[in-house]
Amino acid sequence: MRISTNSLFTQGIGAIGDRQVNLARIQQQLSTGLRMPSAAADPVGWSTAVSIDRAIAELEQYGGNATILRNRLEQADASLDQIGDRLARVRELALQGANGTYTDEQRRAIALELRQQLNAVVDAANTTDGNGRYLFGGSADAVPPFAFGPAGASYAGDQNRRSLEVAPETAVEDVDPGSEIFLRIRTGDGTFVVRQDPANTGTGVLRGTALVDPGQWDGGNYRIVFNAGNWQALDAANAVVATGAYVEGAPIEFRGVRVQIEGAPANGDAFAVGPSRTQDVFTTLQGLIDALELPTVTPQQRAAQRNAVFAGIEDLTRAQDHIIDRRAGLGARLNVVEQANDGREANGVLLKTALSELRDVDYAKAISQLNLEMTALQAAQQSFIKVQGLSLFSYIR
């Protein structure tokens, strides 16, 4: 096979050029720290790296959502904790006010502090998230959601429940709308409620209520009426469903409920028994304020005031339990957010490791290749010099 001198020169120069290209590529990798400075270096690897970059960016977006949601949930929990403390103080003050040794002036002083506690609860229900958005307004969170005045409580928010994605296929609900937290609270014991007839003229006072047999309670409306030392339980049609002799403090039971009354009810006095309704926490606090401001000059007025305080404390207990339940819901959501954070961080580490393996330079390997390419380049150059020195005329001389 004949090989021309031009072919030898071309081949040698080509080999040197290839080694120089490889050497330049490795030097660029070492200087930039990137194995793939452009898509041309490794189209398949570059495409995979872009996909991983996109996945990491999505995880970072989820992380931003999680941070926003966690802050809102924690702020809402702190506000409800503050409200819980306020309600505990209200309960303490109401029990003090129910003490028979207190004068009307002392009760009015307690009622004044209760009014301050009511205002503080309204303020806490109008807490913002630090960005000018009201936590308990639902999606209509640009204005304070609650106001309370002589006409009662008003709610300017809505019922919408927003949610944020904190991880792939994991969405967590935002703070509950304030209507669910502060307005829709069951009264009485949560199932039924007992209240004094405003027309009572005796001194009968509620001492306790209990649901002893849920299976018998039908959710109807009844009246316990006293007459001639006896009591009768009447249904909505005035039909007698139970009767018995009245003994102060002894349980009165019918339809699965138990009611205890002390004092001396007058003939015709009555207590209404019916299903629990919903009531806002602000009205409950106002009811206790009104109860402590009632006059207690006569025994009948004192009985009416004690019944009003009993009703207020019973409703307050439901409000406290309701706030605790809502805080438990917030805590459960915070746990989901934290679990999502842990999973997202683990996925992020795996993705970044895979991206590094695709994109970043293995310095030990690159330096070894650099040395190899330099040696190969030197060999190619020495070989070309030898070939260049070959000439027929050298032999002729």
Token pair for 54: 């996109």
Look up the pTM and report it: 0.79
Query: Which band of pLDDT confidence, cut at 50, 70 and 90, is reported for residue 385?
Result: low
Q: How many residues does the chain have?
A: 397
Q: Which is more confidently placed, 242 or 10?
A: 242
Query: Which band of pLDDT confidence, cut at 50, 70 and 90, is reported for residue 100?
Result: confident
- SS3 category, 243: strand
Q: What is the pLDDT of residues 240-263, one digit of tens each?
A: 999 999 999 999 999 999 999 999
Query: Which band of pLDDT confidence, cut at 50, 70 and 90, is reported for residue 97?
Result: confident
How far is residue 267 from each of residues 8, 206, 233, measured CA to CA in Å? Answer: 130, 17, 14
Q: What is the pLDDT of residue 82?
A: 96
Mean pLDDT score of the chain, rounded to an integer? 84
Q: Where are the domains of the chain?
A: 34-187+280-360, 189-276
* Contact by Cβ (8 Å): 163, 174: yes
* Contact by Cβ (8 Å): 285, 90: yes
Is 114 buried (19+), middle (13-18) or exposed (0-12) by CB count in 10 A?
buried
Query: Which band of pLDDT confidence, cut at 50, 70 and 90, is reported for residue 360?
Result: low
- Looking from the CA of 170 toward its CB, the CA atoms found within 13 Å total 21
CB atoms within 10 A of CB 45: 15
Least Cα distance to 34 among 354, 348, 358, 371 occurs for 358
Residue type, 219: G
Q: What is the pLDDT of residue 342?
A: 85
Q: What is the pLDDT of residues 267-301, one digit of tens each?
A: 999 999 999 999 999 999 999 999 999 998 999 99
d(CA 381, CA 367): 21
d(CA 287, CA 308): 8
Q: Which is more confidently placed, 72 or 38?
A: 72
DSSP 156-212: -S-----EEEEETTEEEE-SPPHIIIII-EE-TTSSEEEEE-TT--S--EEEEEEES
Q: Is the pLDDT at 396 greater than 60, yes or no?
A: no
Kindly state the average pLDDT of the residues 79-87: 96
Q: What is the pLDDT of residues 335-350, one digit of tens each?
A: 999 988 888 788 777 7
Contacts from 154-157 at CB under 8 Å and sequence distance 24+? 155/179, 155/183
Q: Which is more confidently placed, 209 or 377?
A: 209
Q: What is the pLDDT of residue 131?
A: 87
Token pair for 36: 């793939």
Token pair for 382: 């020495």
Q: What is the pLDDT of residues 122-133, one digit of tens each?
A: 999 999 998 889
d(CA 189, CA 319): 11
Is 170 buried (19+), middle (13-18) or exposed (0-12) by CB count in 10 A?
middle
The residue written with tokens 């080694």 in the block is 19
Query: Which band of pLDDT confidence, cut at 50, 70 and 90, is reported for residue 49?
Result: low
DSSP tag of 228: T
DSSP 290-331: HHHTS--SSHHHHHHHHHHHHHHHHHHHHHHHHHHHHHHHHH
d(CA 142, CA 46): 46
Query: Which band of pLDDT confidence, cut at 50, 70 and 90, is reported for residue 11?
Result: low
Q: What is the pLDDT of residue 397?
A: 53
Q: Cα-flanking dihedrals φ and ψ of residue 198, to 5°? A: -60, -20
* Contact by Cβ (8 Å): 137, 177: yes
The residue written with tokens 């995880």 in the block is 59
Kindly state the average pLDDT of the residues 10-38: 57
Q: What is the pLDDT of residue 369?
A: 64
Q: What is the pLDDT of residue 219?
A: 94
- SS3 category, 73: helix
Q: Which is more confidently placed, 335 or 395?
A: 335
Classify 34-187+280-360 by CATH class: mainly alpha
* Contact by Cβ (8 Å): 264, 202: yes
Angle at 290 between CA 289 and CA 293, to 5 degrees: 90
Which helix (DSSP H) or strand (DSSP E) does residue 74 occupy? helix 43-97
d(CA 42, CA 45): 5
Kindly state the average pLDDT of the residues 174-187: 94
Q: What is the pLDDT of residues 193-202, one digit of tens each?
A: 999 999 999 9
Q: Is the pLDDT at 64 greater than 80, yes or no?
A: yes
d(CA 291, CA 69): 41
